[in-house]
Structure 1
Amino acid sequence: MITFDIFKKKKGIYWTNTLIVYSIAIPCLLVEFIKYIILDFEQKKNIFDDILFYIALGSLGYGLVMGVSGFVRHQPLKGKLEGSLILEDDKITIDHEAYRLDEIKKIKILNYDYYSKFNFPTRGSFEASLSRGVDNKFEIILNSGEIVSCAFCQFNRYDIVDAKKQLINYHLKGKIEFLHLIEILGISGFNQIKLFKKEIKWFQEDR
């Protein structure tokens, strides 16, 4: 039995550094743009203009500091770790709901994320670059057509390799395709794949 923590994303708007910076800077600059470009106000700047300017400048400065420091900071969790994903030979449990293997038609797993993985920031972003390892997805398609999925946490790149025995069993039961299985386990190269096929054969003979 192998267990992973389930990640439940927070619903609604999450106030990221990027959203905060642009929510402050853009309105301030927009007011000045409308006032002096569109309405063609020519009077001297007053204290209100100075306040808007320094607020916008301060927010952009904050964003720059957050962007640079983001290379060594972890991203906010944006939710909570709650519940468990449990992989067993004959069943899979997702957040206290158990599904027998014979109820499942297909299993899909995306396990590219792990704790402290570096993600290159997108242009204009002021977010942290180190992952929390929660952007992994486990999905089962039931015989009824219903899809059940969850996000789960990995601390290391291939924590899911701990569940190799269960995953091989799922493959032999026709729930995971071979190409997807080697993708999940990070197996590549002709020799590695050849050895893994032998491992599957030995596993099958021992059952």
Structure 2
Amino acid sequence: MTQEIEFKIFTKNKGFRLSVNIVVYSLFFIGIGIAYLAGEYLDNSTIENLGQGVGILACMLMIYFKITQASKRKPLNGNLNNKLRFRTREIIIDDIRIELNEIKKIEFYIGDYFDKWESQAPGDFAPGRTNGTSNICELTLTNGHKTKVNFQLMFENEFLKMRELLLQYYSENKIHFLKLIEYLGIDKYEEIQEFKNTLPPTLVTVAQPFNFVKFDPI
């Protein structure tokens, strides 16, 4: 039976997107600008007060968005309509089927998941929680062509359900050993050696060039 693991592909919308930061900073500088020009050149207190009111509104919005930042998710700004499917002998991107023997290298960039908190700079008022769509799968084909897609993870360590398929791809020399242990979250010397002991003899042979030297603390 063919094993299959499926994720949702994230396709980003094209074109301009109005963000929280653009709105609040635009209101702030427009308000301050109107108030300054009205007071300096027009001598019109009504327009000056209007400008000050817009500036105060912008400041209130900044405070509101900063307070609610930790509980709000970023706008998706795209869709999750397509599927990324991993199988033992092939990878399917939407309706494009790529046989494993057509692939030279498989790489992943994993670090995002749904509702993950991302620290924001003091002057950034955008929502602080993500949609889990910044993960990347990049395939380098034997013909030199590269294919890259973003995909969504719903919770931390969800990618570990790919373990058996990652081992399969590693056995086919599609994934470097150092990348394999990175994807599996294995980073300590003892854990690496223990993991190598769990590999079948044929895979241990492949991993031998990547022995790690353990240094005793001084």
**What TM-score, normalized by structure 1, do the two folds share?**
0.89
| Contact 1:18 1:127 survives alignment (8 Å) | yes
Map of 1:142 onto structure 2: 141
User: Over residues 125-182 of structure 1, what are the superposed CA-to-partner deviations in whole Å (9 max), with x where a residue is unaligned?
Assistant: 1111111111111110111111111111111121111111111111111111111111
Q: Distance in 1 between matches of 2:37 and 2:185?
A: 55
Are 2:186 and 1:187 equivalent residues in the alignment? yes
More relative contact order, 1 or 2 (CA 8 Å, 6+ apart): 1
- Residues 203, 136 of structure 1: alpha-carbon distance in 2 compared, 3 angstrom cutoff: farther
Distance apart, 1:203 and its partner CA: 8.3
Map of 2:29 onto structure 1: 26
User: Over residues 21-73 of structure 1, what are the superposed CA-to-partner deviations in whole Å (9 max), with x where a residue is unaligned?
Assistant: 1122222323444565xxx5383x42111112111210221122011111122
Larger mean CA deviation between 67-76 and 101-110 belongs to 67-76
| Contact 1:17 1:63 survives alignment (8 Å) | no
Q: Distance in 2 between matches of 1:156 and 1:64?
A: 30
| Contact 2:10 2:151 survives alignment (8 Å) | yes
Q: Distance in 1 between matches of 2:21 and 2:12?
A: 19
Larger mean CA deviation between 163-172 and 189-198 belongs to 189-198
Q: Distance in 1 between matches of 2:201 and 2:54?
A: 67
| Contact 1:85 1:94 survives alignment (8 Å) | yes
Q: Distance in 2 between matches of 1:95 and 1:33?
A: 55
Identity of aligned residues (%): 25
2:98 partner amino acid: Y
Map of 2:12 onto structure 1: 9
Classify the secondary structure of the residue corresponding to 1:11: coil
| Contact 1:28 1:55 survives alignment (8 Å) | yes
Q: Distance in 2 between matches of 1:201 and 1:130?
A: 41
Q: Distance in 1 between matches of 2:27 and 2:15?
A: 20
Distance apart, 1:194 and its partner CA: 1.5
Classify the secondary structure of the residue corresponding to 2:41: coil
Q: Distance in 1 between matches of 2:7 and 2:122?
A: 33
- Gap runs ≥5 in structure 2: 205-218
2:41 partner amino acid: F
Map of 2:130 onto structure 1: 131
Aligned residues: 201
1:144 partner amino acid: N
Classify the secondary structure of the residue corresponding to 2:183: helix
Classify the secondary structure of the residue corresponding to 1:41: helix
1:195 partner amino acid: E
2:169 partner amino acid: Y
1:197 partner amino acid: K
| Contact 1:113 1:131 survives alignment (8 Å) | yes
